[in-house]
């Protein structure tokens, strides 16, 4: 082997040319900067719910426009879900549900982009695809925005680059300007002038700059999501083919092993149902067992039952992943085993739900009790879908579960839970079905509870006793707070209804 051969063998590979960005991609990069800034600006969403909802709608509308430029058909189901969630932000107006809807809509955006560029239609891999869209794809092109801005219109005018360069220069100038101003403030006249400027403008400018700086990661995430999906980066990561190979390799357990491990668990359930049948069946009849209070009976075992139901869900998934069923007889036996676990779980969930219903009927509704009931209903529907799958093999169980959870969450959010809780408690207290109503808990529900609280103050004054003054004081305070909310971004449906209820109730008094 001569010297020339050696040199040819070890010659480094030619570097790949840098990616060039089209003009509309640069426009998308600039909009990503705006989107990242607005996300940080409007979170938490309950503070400016109207603007937060409009931001969500804008994110999806602009993404749809740029998807069309890429000759990609967007996924309408994600658009529909996002618009419902944005409406829920306005409907709830404040509290945890508003932020949950906002975060759900924002988290759905990368999934919407990914599925639009990868329209495989394989619902069986929805969760792996969603994880890839959220946690892998954005970071594959995390710093692409800098390249897009740097290379914008190299042969033409450079408006985007010029504007961003000026903005960067202004941000850098803050540090030397602050130092110089502090030194020159030895002059009393100049110091007073700077104090007046800082009090009016300076603090707001500093806040905006701070928001912009911490929004930079959000900006990079947004643009990286789109570019990675468009360029189909990380195509081999969590691909459907790899998932199929992994799934096939997971099926190592013979049916006999799975049956011998699962049947004792079913035996424990059978013994439990037999030994506790009289005690737990009381929940369905609404009769309190001897020696129990409503609080003790309803709480005893509730969380344990919910935990067992969740464990059963894991057992069913594990049986599906690891059990080898390579003949019709084995598949039938596995289906029977699955149905036995599903039936046992449904009984446990029905018992837990009946105990929860009994507790609510005596002590009223709270946010935690409503969420627990929602969780039980959703889990029940998922187990029912799993049972249907055993008889109707064509049912796509992953799609059914995703749709159940999405629809159930949207229905919960669109109902404005805080308003429903307040209305339930007040109506049942005034109707004599609840012995007492928790004023502090109603106050915690915020503006959504105001119409129900005004009704309580008007119709339950005599029954409330001293609690009436606590209620009246809260309504006076919230009336003052609402009168100070004049910004358009703070507008929401609960705020509109609260203002109307307070006006009709004669507040402030």
Higher pLDDT, 71 or 452: 452
The answer to whether residue 362 scores a pLDDT higher than 60 is yes
What mean pLDDT is predicted for residues 269-292? 66
39-53, 165-179, 250-264, 393-407: segment of lowest average pLDDT: 165-179
The answer to whether residue 6 scores a pLDDT higher than 50 is no
Question: Taking Cα atoms as reference points, which of 59, 145, 142, 140 lies closest to residue 103?
Answer: 59
- The pLDDT, as a whole number, for residue 248 is 76
What mean pLDDT is predicted for residues 274-295? 64
64 pLDDT band, cuts 50/70/90, is confident
Instruction: Choose the final residue of a domain: 414, 442, 473.
Output: 414
Answer whether residue 40 is part of any domain. yes
The answer to whether residue 82 scores a pLDDT higher than 80 is yes
Answer whether residue 321 is part of any domain. yes
3-class secondary-structure state, position 119? coil
What mean pLDDT is predicted for residues 34-42? 89
The answer to whether residue 274 scores a pLDDT higher than 60 is yes
Q: What pLDDT, in 10s, does the model give residues 233-259?
A: 888 888 888 887 877 777 777 888 888
- The pLDDT, as a whole number, for residue 284 is 59
202, 308: one domain: no
The answer to whether residue 423 scores a pLDDT higher than 90 is yes
- The pLDDT, as a whole number, for residue 409 is 94
Higher pLDDT, 194 or 39: 39
- The pLDDT, as a whole number, for residue 158 is 53
Cα–Cα dist 121/111, whole Å: 13
304, 177: one domain: no
- The pLDDT, as a whole number, for residue 13 is 46
Instruction: Choose the final residue of a domain: 396, 414, 432.
Output: 414
Alpha helix locations (H) across 276-327? 277-285, 294-299, 302-322
For 345-350, the CB contacts below 8 A with 24+ separation are: 345/308, 345/309, 345/312, 345/313, 345/383, 346/380, 346/383, 346/384, 347/273, 348/269, 348/305, 348/308, 348/309, 348/312, 349/305, 349/309, 349/376, 349/379, 349/380, 349/383, 350/284, 350/380
Answer whether residue 8 is part of any domain. no
The answer to whether residue 5 scores a pLDDT higher than 50 is no
Answer whether residue 245 is part of any domain. no
200, 283: one domain: no
Question: Taking Cα atoms as reference points, which of 375, 364, 371, 402 lies closest to residue 307?
Answer: 375
Share of the chain above pLDDT 90, in %: 18
Q: C-alpha dihedral over 196, 198, 199, 201, to 10 degrees?
A: 110
468, 383: one domain: no
Answer whether residue 241 is part of any domain. no
Helix 126-135 vs helix 397-414: angle between axes, to the nearest 10 degrees?
Answer: 60
Cα–Cα dist 95/112, whole Å: 26
456, 315: one domain: no
What mean pLDDT is predicted for residues 391-407? 88
319 pLDDT band, cuts 50/70/90, is confident
- The pLDDT, as a whole number, for residue 289 is 64
391, 461: one domain: no
Answer whether residue 319 is part of any domain. yes
Higher pLDDT, 384 or 94: 384
336, 450: one domain: no
197, 330: one domain: no
The answer to whether residue 459 scores a pLDDT higher than 80 is yes
Structural domain count of the chain: 3
- The pLDDT, as a whole number, for residue 197 is 65
Higher pLDDT, 486 or 302: 486
Alpha helix locations (H) across 364-396? 367-391
The answer to whether residue 286 scores a pLDDT higher than 60 is no
Instruction: Choose the final residue of a domain: 231, 262, 279.
Output: 231
227, 170: one domain: yes
Rg (CA), the chain: 30
290, 425: one domain: no
Backbone phi and psi for residue 465, each to the nearest 5 degrees, phi listed first:
65, -130
454, 317: one domain: no
Beta strands in 7-52 (DSSP E): none
Answer whether residue 55 is part of any domain. yes
Range of the domain at 484: 417-505
Answer whether residue 403 is part of any domain. yes
107, 168: one domain: yes
165 pLDDT band, cuts 50/70/90, is low
Average pLDDT, the chain: 81
The answer to whether residue 411 scores a pLDDT higher than 90 is yes
The answer to whether residue 401 scores a pLDDT higher than 50 is yes
């Amino acid at each position: 082997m001569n010297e020339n051969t050696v040199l040819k063998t070890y010659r480094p590979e030619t570097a790949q040319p840098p990616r060039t960005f089209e003009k509309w991609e640069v426009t998308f990069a600039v909009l990503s900067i705006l989107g990242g800034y607005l996300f940080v600006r409007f979170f938490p969403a309950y503070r400016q719910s109207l603007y937060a909802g409009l931001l969500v709608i804008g994110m999806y509308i602009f993404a749809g426009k740029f998807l069309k430029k890429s000759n990609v058909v967007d996924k309408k189901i994600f658009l529909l879900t996002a618009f419902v969630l944005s409406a829920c932000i306005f409907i709830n107006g404040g509290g945890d549900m508003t932020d949950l809807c906002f975060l759900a809509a924002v988290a759905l955006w990368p999934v919407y982009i990914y599925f639009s560029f990868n329209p495989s239609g394989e619902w069986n891999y929805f969760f792996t695809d969603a994880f890839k869209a959220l946690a892998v794809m954005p970071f594959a092109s995390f710093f692409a925005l800098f390249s897009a801005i740097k290379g914008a219109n190299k042969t033409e005018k450079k408006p985007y680059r010029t504007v961003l360069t000026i903005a960067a220069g202004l941000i850098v100038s803050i540090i030397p300007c602050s130092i110089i101003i502090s030194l020159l403030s030895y002059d009393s006249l100049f110091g007073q002038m700077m104090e007046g400027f800082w009090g009016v403008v300076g603090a707001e400018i500093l806040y905006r700059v701070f928001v912009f700086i911490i929004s930079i990661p959000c900006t990079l995430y947004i643009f990286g999501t789109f570019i990675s999906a468009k360029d189909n980066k990380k195509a081999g990561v969590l691909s459907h083919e790899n998932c199929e190979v992994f799934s096939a390799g997971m099926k190592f357990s013979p049916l006999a092993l799975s049956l011998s491990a699962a049947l004792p668990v079913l035996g424990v359930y059978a013994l439990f149902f037999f030994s506790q049948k009289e005690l737990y069946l009381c929940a369905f009849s609404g009769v309190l067992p001897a020696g129990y209070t409503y609080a003790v009976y309803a709480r005893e075992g509730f969380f344990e039952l919910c935990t067992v139901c969740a464990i059963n869900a894991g057992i069913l998934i594990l049986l599906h992943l690891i059990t080898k069923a390579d003949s019709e007889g084995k598949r039938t036996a596995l289906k029977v085993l699955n149905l036995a676990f599903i039936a046992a779980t449904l009984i446990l969930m029905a018992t837990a739900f009946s105990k929860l219903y009994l507790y609510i009927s005596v002590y009223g509704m709270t946010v935690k009790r409503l969420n627990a009931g929602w969780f039980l209903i959703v889990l029940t529907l998922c187990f029912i879908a799993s049972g249907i799958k055993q008889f109707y093999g064509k049912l796509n169980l992953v799609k059914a579960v995703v749709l159940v959870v999405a629809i159930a969450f949207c229905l919960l959010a669109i109902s404005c839970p805080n308003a429903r809780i307040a209305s339930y408690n007040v109506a049942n207290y005034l109707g004599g079905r609840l012995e007492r109503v928790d004023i502090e808990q109603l106050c915690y529900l915020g503006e959504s509870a105001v119409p129900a609280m005004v009704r309580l103050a008007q119709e339950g004054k005599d029954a409330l006793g001293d609690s009436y003054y606590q209620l009246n004081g809260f309504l006076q305070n919230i009336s003052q707070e609402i009168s100070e909310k004049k910004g358009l971004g703070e507008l929401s449906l609960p705020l509109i209804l609260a203002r109307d209820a307070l006006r009709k109730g004669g507040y402030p008094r």
